[in-house]
Chains A and B, each alone.
Chain A
Amino acid sequence: MGDNKRRYVIPGEVITTGPYRPEQNVILEDKKIIATKVGISEIYDDTVKVIPLSGMYIPKSQDLVIGKIVSHSSLSWEADINSCYAGMLPASDVFGRNFQPDSEELTSKLAKGDLIVARIVNFDRSRDPLITIADRELGKIDSGELVRISPSKVPRLIGKQGTMIQAIELGTNATITIGQNGLVVVACDTQVGLLKAKKAIRMVDEYAHMPNLTDKIKEMLESKSE
């Protein structure tokens, strides 16, 4: 087993046998560190992790997600957050702590089908993830277009220190909100910018494994603007 830092791995492949700490998507099985997903393995200091190339979104506390309201009870909304678990948005989050279910109508604030930007407050194995929209950049989405990408490619769309997303925003004048769950909202004043931004996002999704993708995206954005 070479100790090279980055490597393509598939489930079951032994990444290393050294004294490392297993992190995301790896397991320790008698001193061997084994990948559990298809992806790129990374050895950093004393930790080993695998960046997955496929898979569903698993909620994580503090993640920014984009969700769609699918139903509500008298006390909470339920949002589809593109995961195997539904997001629970309690009514008190919107109406305040002294919310009275008999006097307020939930649909007056958020109706079925509305899109929201939310943050995951809490998630553990026993309950559905709790989400909130009570913050400045959170809440109902009024305008823009929804683009779906694979959740495993979200880090690529953001890029190192946000370089990729900055390049797309600058090149198209669009405002892009990326949910960690693979849903992206693009809002733009001009139709041309909107189409171009969408195309760029789709390109990132498709060619996520290619090196120098940021340059290629920049090239694409510039070539069409003439």
Chain B
Amino acid sequence: MGGRDSKLVLLDENGIRCDGRKVDETRKISIKAGVLKNANGSAYIEFGDNKIIVGVFGPRDVHPKHLSDTDTGILRCRYHMSPFSVTERKNPAPSRREIEIGKVIKEALKPAVMLEKFPRTAVDVYVEVLQADGGTRCAALDAASVALADAGIPMRDLVSACAAGKVADTIILDVGNEEDQAGQADMPIGYMPNLGQITLLQLDGVLTPDEFKKCVETGVDGCKQIYEIQKQALKDKFFGNGVV
């Protein structure tokens, strides 16, 4: 990218970040479940300026057949960025980074999905990033878990994800694109709120043990906030305004 504003103030003296947020504030998030007709389950998320759509198929037959497992179902995940998702055209062919994020999302979802109920089948998750602005893996994970629930695939818990990080020697919640580029650390966290288990933890940067602890706590708090939004998205789709 390069050519960044060298005078960019990531955190001012009042504790306000470069995009006007407070230290422990996430970007504006909205999720809508069931946006695609042809997929078994789907979700659309707007996470700040990130726009991501997720479609889920399955459980269904595994093709190619040799990938199937007689003991359990398998989970497959494709993360893809549209050519127009970033400022300079992105080659639509899967890059190293996309393959890796697909793997990371798959592994973050796996503890939640009860695949052992469907031996010899596959659950496919397709993540399409329409617009990227930092933190797409977390946003994609949030949408993917809503889409899986929408598809009616049994899950132990939803997976909520949010990043925490360090800019200007301060631990912050939900690292934006500028903060990611110029900041000191970025830590995406995936979390199952009801089970209290972490399913994704990555760290780019250097943190002291104390900072690390604080960073995880901050991230988990963010995940809990996002969980409420995911919950609302599912309730809006399935229950409307009805009461039992």
Binding site for B on A (CB under 8 A): 6-8, 10-14, 25, 27, 29, 34, 36-38, 40, 52-56, 58, 84-85, 125-126, 152, 209-211
Contact = CB atoms under 8 A, between A and B. Distances in A.
Nearest to B122: A84
A85 B118 CA distance: 9
Given A8-B235, A12-B194, A54 B152 contact: yes
B226 to A, nearest CB: 13
Which one of B150, B154, B156, B193 has the highest number of Cβ atoms from chain A below 10 Å of its Cβ?
B154
A12 to B, nearest CB: 3
Nearest to A14: B194
A94 to B, nearest CB: 25
Interface of B: 40-41, 58-61, 70, 112, 114, 117-121, 149-158, 192-195, 231, 234-235, 238-240, 242, 244
A11 B157 contact: yes
A11 B156 contact: yes
A84 B238 contact: no
Contact of A11 (B59, B119, B155): B155
A187 to B, nearest CB: 28
Contacts of B231: 10
What does DSSP make chain B's interface, helix, strand, loop or mixed?
Answer: loop
Given A84-B58, A84-B59, A210-B242, A56 B152 contact: yes
Given A11-B149, A25-B154, A56-B151, 6 more contacts: A10-B231, A12-B158, A34-B157, A38-B150, A56-B40, A125-B119
Contacts of B234: 10, 38
Contacts of A52: 152
A53 B238 contact: yes
Contacts of A14: 194
Contacts of B156: 11-12, 27, 29, 34, 36
A13 B238 contact: no
Contacts of B239: 8, 209
A56 to B, nearest CB: 6
Contacts of B194: 12-14, 34
Contacts of B61: 84
A11 B154 contact: yes
Contacts of A36: 114, 154-156
A54 B149 CA distance: 8
